[in-house]
Amino acid sequence: MKSMILSLLFCLVVSLAMAQSKDSAQVAKAVNKLAALMVDPNKAALEALVSDQISYGHSSGKLEGKASFIESLISGSSDFVKINLTDQSIQLFGKTAIVRNKLFATTNDGGKPGEVKLALILVWQKHQKAWQLIARQAVKLP
Protein backbone atom coordinates (compact mmCIF):
# COMPACT_ATOMS: atom_id res chain seq x y z
CA MET A 1 0.00 0.00 0.00
CA LYS A 2 2.80 2.39 0.96
CA SER A 3 4.65 1.75 -2.32
CA MET A 4 1.43 2.34 -4.27
CA ILE A 5 0.93 5.73 -2.62
CA LEU A 6 4.57 6.64 -3.27
CA SER A 7 4.19 5.59 -6.91
CA LEU A 8 1.09 7.76 -7.33
CA LEU A 9 2.83 10.69 -5.65
CA PHE A 10 5.85 10.24 -7.92
CA CYS A 11 3.60 10.21 -11.02
CA LEU A 12 1.88 13.39 -9.84
CA VAL A 13 5.20 15.18 -9.27
CA VAL A 14 6.54 14.08 -12.66
CA SER A 15 3.38 15.22 -14.49
CA LEU A 16 3.48 18.61 -12.75
CA ALA A 17 7.16 19.03 -13.65
CA MET A 18 6.43 18.17 -17.27
CA ALA A 19 3.58 20.72 -17.39
CA GLN A 20 5.86 23.41 -15.93
CA SER A 21 8.60 22.49 -18.39
CA LYS A 22 6.13 22.84 -21.28
CA ASP A 23 4.93 26.22 -19.97
CA SER A 24 8.54 27.42 -19.50
CA ALA A 25 9.29 26.50 -23.10
CA GLN A 26 6.16 28.33 -24.30
CA VAL A 27 7.10 31.45 -22.30
CA ALA A 28 10.66 31.37 -23.68
CA LYS A 29 9.21 31.09 -27.18
CA ALA A 30 6.95 34.11 -26.50
CA VAL A 31 9.94 36.14 -25.23
CA ASN A 32 11.89 35.31 -28.40
CA LYS A 33 8.88 36.15 -30.55
CA LEU A 34 8.57 39.54 -28.84
CA ALA A 35 12.26 40.27 -29.47
CA ALA A 36 11.87 39.30 -33.13
CA LEU A 37 8.77 41.51 -33.47
CA MET A 38 10.63 44.43 -31.92
CA VAL A 39 13.22 44.13 -34.69
CA ASP A 40 10.72 43.43 -37.46
CA PRO A 41 7.37 44.73 -36.17
CA ASN A 42 4.06 43.31 -37.32
CA LYS A 43 1.03 45.06 -35.85
CA ALA A 44 -1.33 42.06 -35.81
CA ALA A 45 1.29 39.78 -34.24
CA LEU A 46 2.18 42.38 -31.60
CA GLU A 47 -1.49 42.93 -30.77
CA ALA A 48 -1.92 39.20 -30.20
CA LEU A 49 1.22 38.90 -28.05
CA VAL A 50 0.65 41.95 -25.84
CA SER A 51 -2.19 42.30 -23.33
CA ASP A 52 -4.67 45.15 -23.71
CA GLN A 53 -3.77 46.15 -20.12
CA ILE A 54 0.02 46.12 -20.56
CA SER A 55 2.23 48.39 -18.50
CA TYR A 56 5.38 48.82 -20.60
CA GLY A 57 8.11 50.62 -18.64
CA HIS A 58 11.21 52.04 -20.29
CA SER A 59 14.56 52.55 -18.57
CA SER A 60 13.93 56.32 -18.82
CA GLY A 61 10.85 55.97 -16.62
CA LYS A 62 8.43 56.45 -19.52
CA LEU A 63 5.35 54.20 -19.32
CA GLU A 64 3.37 53.08 -22.33
CA GLY A 65 0.15 51.23 -22.91
CA LYS A 66 -0.53 48.79 -25.70
CA ALA A 67 -1.39 51.25 -28.48
CA SER A 68 1.59 53.57 -27.92
CA PHE A 69 4.06 50.69 -27.47
CA ILE A 70 2.99 49.08 -30.76
CA GLU A 71 2.81 52.40 -32.61
CA SER A 72 6.35 53.35 -31.54
CA LEU A 73 7.64 50.12 -33.10
CA ILE A 74 5.52 50.35 -36.26
CA SER A 75 6.39 54.02 -36.85
CA GLY A 76 10.12 53.48 -36.25
CA SER A 77 10.39 56.00 -33.42
CA SER A 78 11.56 52.98 -31.41
CA ASP A 79 13.67 51.13 -33.97
CA PHE A 80 15.57 48.01 -32.94
CA VAL A 81 18.06 46.82 -35.54
CA LYS A 82 19.33 43.83 -33.55
CA ILE A 83 18.46 42.35 -30.14
CA ASN A 84 20.47 39.86 -28.14
CA LEU A 85 18.96 38.41 -24.93
CA THR A 86 21.15 36.77 -22.27
CA ASP A 87 21.00 35.49 -18.69
CA GLN A 88 17.33 34.57 -18.92
CA SER A 89 15.41 33.01 -16.05
CA ILE A 90 11.73 32.04 -15.97
CA GLN A 91 9.65 31.53 -12.84
CA LEU A 92 6.16 30.10 -13.15
CA PHE A 93 3.29 30.77 -10.76
CA GLY A 94 0.28 28.99 -12.22
CA LYS A 95 -0.83 31.03 -15.23
CA THR A 96 1.71 33.80 -14.55
CA ALA A 97 5.39 33.84 -15.49
CA ILE A 98 8.13 36.23 -14.43
CA VAL A 99 11.02 36.49 -16.85
CA ARG A 100 14.29 38.24 -16.08
CA ASN A 101 16.96 38.77 -18.72
CA LYS A 102 19.48 41.18 -20.13
CA LEU A 103 18.91 42.88 -23.46
CA PHE A 104 21.74 44.17 -25.62
CA ALA A 105 20.52 45.97 -28.72
CA THR A 106 21.55 48.07 -31.65
CA THR A 107 18.99 50.81 -32.30
CA ASN A 108 18.18 53.43 -34.90
CA ASP A 109 15.56 55.49 -33.07
CA GLY A 110 14.42 58.35 -35.27
CA GLY A 111 17.33 57.65 -37.64
CA LYS A 112 19.90 58.05 -34.84
CA PRO A 113 22.12 54.94 -34.38
CA GLY A 114 22.68 53.78 -30.82
CA GLU A 115 23.15 50.89 -28.45
CA VAL A 116 21.24 49.91 -25.32
CA LYS A 117 22.16 47.59 -22.46
CA LEU A 118 19.19 46.80 -20.23
CA ALA A 119 18.12 44.48 -17.45
CA LEU A 120 14.49 43.49 -17.94
CA ILE A 121 11.68 42.01 -15.94
CA LEU A 122 8.71 40.83 -17.97
CA VAL A 123 5.44 39.47 -16.61
CA TRP A 124 3.50 37.09 -18.83
CA GLN A 125 0.04 35.66 -18.28
CA LYS A 126 -1.52 32.64 -19.95
CA HIS A 127 -4.80 33.47 -21.71
CA GLN A 128 -6.48 30.34 -23.00
CA LYS A 129 -3.51 28.59 -24.62
CA ALA A 130 -1.33 31.63 -25.41
CA TRP A 131 1.04 33.67 -23.24
CA GLN A 132 0.61 37.46 -23.31
CA LEU A 133 2.92 40.16 -22.01
CA ILE A 134 1.17 42.10 -19.23
CA ALA A 135 4.10 44.10 -17.80
CA ARG A 136 7.67 45.02 -18.61
CA GLN A 137 10.19 47.22 -16.82
CA ALA A 138 13.72 48.01 -17.92
CA VAL A 139 16.72 49.50 -16.13
CA LYS A 140 19.95 50.63 -17.78
CA LEU A 141 23.05 48.53 -17.26
CA PRO A 142 26.47 50.17 -16.91
| Prediction pTM value | 0.85
pLDDT band at 15 (very low <50, low <70, confident <90, very high): very low
pLDDT at 4 over 70: no
Q: How would residue 1 be classed by pLDDT, with cut points 50, 70 and 90?
A: low
Residue 113, domain CATH: 3.10.450.50
User: Which residue range forms the structural domain that includes residue 12?
Assistant: 2-140
Residue 108: which residues within 8 A CB-CB, separation 6 or more?
Answer: 76, 79, 81, 114
Number of domain units in the chain? 1
